[in-house]
Amino acid sequence: EAGVAQSPRYKIIEKRQSVAFWCNPISGHATLYWYQQILGQGPKLLIQFQNNGVVDDSQLPKDRFSAERLKGVDSTLKIQPAKLEDSAVYLCASSLDGGVHTEAFFGQGTRLTVV
């Protein structure tokens, strides 16, 4: 079974530039998550989708971050404009249905460096 695919693996941009990350979840998984993991910290949920609807985006900095999952499958996360403090690993995860007993599977992440 193929895992969660993310691209690119690494990205270096200057502050105030824009960047986009792509995620393809495990086939058949209805729930998709984007997490931000700053060095030395645990992952923090940015946004959770159930199919193509948003379940939780309470920790998404909406003035600069946006995410979409238009067809309920793959998803993109965008940052515009980037700040130095956005340097982090952006992890995508998916689960079958987002239930409390349902395991979430993580991709390898995109490591973003803002200079």
Rule CB under 8 A: say whether 109 interacts with other proteins: yes
Name the minimum Å distance from CB 90 to other proteins.
11
Place of tokens 């993580």: 106
Based on CB atoms, which residue is closest to other proteins, 71 or 103? 103
Residue closer to other proteins by CB (options 78, 106) is 106
Read off the DSSP letter of residue 72: S
Applying CB under 8 A, which of residues 31, 48, 75, 94 lies at the interface with other proteins? 48
What mask of x and - would describe binding to other proteins in positions 52 to 91, judged by CB under 8 A? ----x----------------------------------x
- Residue 112 in tokens: 């973003």
Which of 73, 54, 66 shows the shortest CA–CA distance to 20?
66
22: contact with other proteins by CB under 8 A: no
Please identify which residue in the block is written with the tokens 């700053």: 38
Rounded distance between C-alpha atoms, residue 114 and residue 83, angstroms: 7
Among residues 55 and 80, whose Cβ is nearest to other proteins?
Answer: 55
60 DSSP 8-state letter: S
Q: Which of 104, 113, 95, 107 is nearest to 22 (CA)?
A: 107
Interface residues toward other proteins, by CB under 8 A: 4, 40-45, 48, 56, 91, 93, 100-101, 103-109, 111
